[in-house]
Amino acid sequence: MLSKTLQDGLADYAIGTRIRTLRLKKKIGLVELGKHTGLSPALLSKIERGRMFPTLPTLLRVALVFGVGLEFFFSGARDKPLLAVVRKSDRNQLPDRPGARDVAYRFESLDYPATERRFNCYYAEFFPVATDRLRPHDHPGFEFIYAIQGALSVHVGADEHVLKTGDSMYFDSSVPHAYRRSGGRSCSAVVVTAR
């Protein structure tokens, strides 16, 4: 069973519609296409109506019958501008350590359905953690943080920087870094990572 995100992403390619257009252009019925591909007419009908997405081997069988390459079904899918809307209730939550009780932060992806992303955006909530319990991490690229509320302590290498509401910072994320909430108020930020 495909997730809604995958279904929506595959639907953008309109593979079923493209197969139907090819079939009607060549004046081939579903039964005849089934004979040429070894696929059942019922399966082909489901694919054409978008009720099922074909595997690559299945799609290749269809492509061979019509003399097109696999790229035919995927090129031009970007005729529409890239657009992805993420509802608050649909955000994927990413704690710094899944299943742990004492997490320093929780990120929520703000752009996960967007394909070909040049950067990743997160809404982050930070929790109080003792400095000696921080777990620095690193990743290639750069990171940008904009503090929405509260005070955020950002450790980059041996340095500590405290961001207050409205402050921001940009840094090389290949340097080990960690975050924790400073003070008693709730703390949140927008975090953007890029390679």
Give bridge partners of residue 188 from the DSSP assignment: 125, 149
Q: Which of 79, 100, 131 corresponds to the end of one domain?
A: 79
Regarding whether 107 and 57 lie in a shared domain, the answer is: no
pLDDT at 77: 54
Regarding whether 94 and 60 lie in a shared domain, the answer is: no
Q: 72: domain range?
A: 4-79
pLDDT at 90: 84
- DSSP string computed for 88-124: GGGPPEEESSTT-SS-SEEEEESSTT-TT-SEEEEEE
With contact defined as beta carbons under 8 Å apart, do 123 and 186 qualify?
no
CA distance 18 to 11: 11
Regarding whether 162 and 96 lie in a shared domain, the answer is: yes
pLDDT at 66: 83
pLDDT at 78: 54
Q: Which of 48, 79, 110 corresponds to the end of one domain?
A: 79
For position 43, which CATH number holds?
A: 1.10.260.40
Domain count within the chain: 2
pLDDT at 118: 82
Regarding whether 142 and 117 lie in a shared domain, the answer is: yes
pLDDT at 79: 59
Helix, strand, coil share of the chain (percent; to 5): 30, 30, 40
Angle between helices 56-66 and 41-48 (to 10 degrees): 100
Strands (E), the chain: 93-95, 105-109, 119-126, 142-149, 151-156, 159-164, 168-172, 177-182, 187-194
Mean pLDDT for back-to-back runs of 10 residues, the chain (195 residues): 80 90 89 91 94 93 86 71 82 76 84 78 88 85 96 95 97 95 90 92
Regarding whether 65 and 145 lie in a shared domain, the answer is: no
Regarding whether 179 and 94 lie in a shared domain, the answer is: yes
pLDDT at 71: 85
pLDDT at 1: 72
pLDDT at 190: 97
Regarding whether 186 and 99 lie in a shared domain, the answer is: yes
